[in-house]
Amino acid sequence: MNQVTFPVLDKRVIIFAGAYGSGKTEVAVNYAAGLAATCSEPVSIIDLDVINPYFRSREAALSLEAQGVRVISPHGEMCHADLPIILPEIRGEIERSEGKVVLDVGGDNVGARVLSSLADSFGRGYEFLIVLNARRPFTSTVTGSLKMIHDIEISSRLKFTGIISNTHLIDETTTETVEEGYRLACAVSTEAGLPVKFVSAVGEAAKRLDPETIGVPVFTLKRQLLKPWEEKDRAARSSKNKGGLVLCRV
């Protein structure tokens, strides 16, 4: 983790929300890991995604725990449930006075609705960040992004405090993709009166970004939520799917 470019946010509670597929989870997971590497305080991440059945931050739990991040998500078989499960410890974690806590919220206004039920816990101050990806169908324009901001604010009963520019096309992301997204984020920033807090991008694309063009910190992401055929680490692959019956004829 590059400590120089890690954009530390002062508030104790940091909430990432946004459209489906904007990359909230990847940003939240990387951000929590980055906090754990830079801060002396304890760091936890709360998986508040109650609408997506797959690719949630709980899937990166093992790796996060190894990096010193406490993962709060449904336990045991419940981690595979498509039920809206809000653990009682979530409220306590948000209301505590020390440490940093990252919230990964489900997509769209539908996914952000869960924040409403916790609205009375955010009194001590928070960052509420909209993750924008200009290559997603409903946030590819300023109008679409403003509507998303509006809809999420209504359903969550919270006001955004900043924008994260996270435009990407997964492994087809180029420097141009990121720059194009940053331009949209700036336009949205002007219209919505919200600052762009940082630009996030995967390694190669982030490296080649011109600091002159990007006027805000660049946060380098390392992809944590891989598809099963993308995992290159053979030890990690071997450790998956342990236990259970293997069906074969040999």
Partner 1 sequence: MSRILMKGNEAIAEAAIRAGAVYYFAYPITPQSEVGEYMSRRLPEVGGVFVQAESEVAVGNMLMGAVASGKRAFTSSSSPGISLMQEAISTMAAARLPVVLINIMRGGPGIGGILPSQADYFQSTKGGGHGDYRVLVLAPSTLQESVDLTMLAFHLADKYCNPTMVVADGMIGQMMEPVQFPEDYKEEPLPPKDWATTGCRGRAPRIIKSLFLDPAMLETNNVMLAEKYKLMKQNEVRFEAYKINPQNRILLVAYGTMARICQTVIDELAEENISIGLLRPITLFPFPGKEIFAEAVKPNIKAVLTVEMSMGQMVEDVEAAVQGRKPVEFYGRTGGIVPTPEEVRDYILKILAKKTPAVKSWKG
Q: Give the nearer residue to partner 1 in terms of CB position, either 54 or 212.
A: 54
| Structural contact between residues 42 and 98, judged by C-beta atoms closer than 8 angstroms | yes
The distance of closest approach from Cβ of residue 136 to partner 1 in the complex, given in angstroms and rounded to an integer, is: 6
Cα–Cα distance, 195 to 197 (Å, whole number):
6
Closest CA to 70 of 44, 96, 93, 91: 44
Cα–Cα distance, 216 to 35 (Å, whole number):
18
The distance of closest approach from Cβ of residue 235 to partner 1 in the complex, given in angstroms and rounded to an integer, is: 9
Judged by the rule CB under 8 A, the positions of this chain that interact with partner 1 are 20-21, 52-55, 80-82, 110, 133, 135-138, 140, 168-170, 172, 227-231, 234, 237-238, 240-241, 244, 246-250
Q: Give the nearer residue to partner 1 in terms of CB position, either 137 or 215.
A: 137
Q: Give the nearer residue to partner 1 in terms of CB position, either 100 or 135.
A: 135
Q: Give the nearer residue to partner 1 in terms of CB position, either 4 or 248.
A: 248
Using DSSP's 3-state secondary structure scheme, residue 82 falls into coil
Sheet architecture: strand order including 43-48: 69-72, 43-48, 100-105, 13-18, 126-132, 162-165, 196-202, 218-221
Closest CA to 194 of 152, 146, 158, 160: 160
The distance of closest approach from Cβ of residue 70 to partner 1 in the complex, given in angstroms and rounded to an integer, is: 25
Q: Give the nearer residue to partner 1 in terms of CB position, either 66 or 229.
A: 229
The distance of closest approach from Cβ of residue 166 to partner 1 in the complex, given in angstroms and rounded to an integer, is: 11
Using DSSP's 3-state secondary structure scheme, residue 1 falls into coil
The distance of closest approach from Cβ of residue 229 to partner 1 in the complex, given in angstroms and rounded to an integer, is: 4
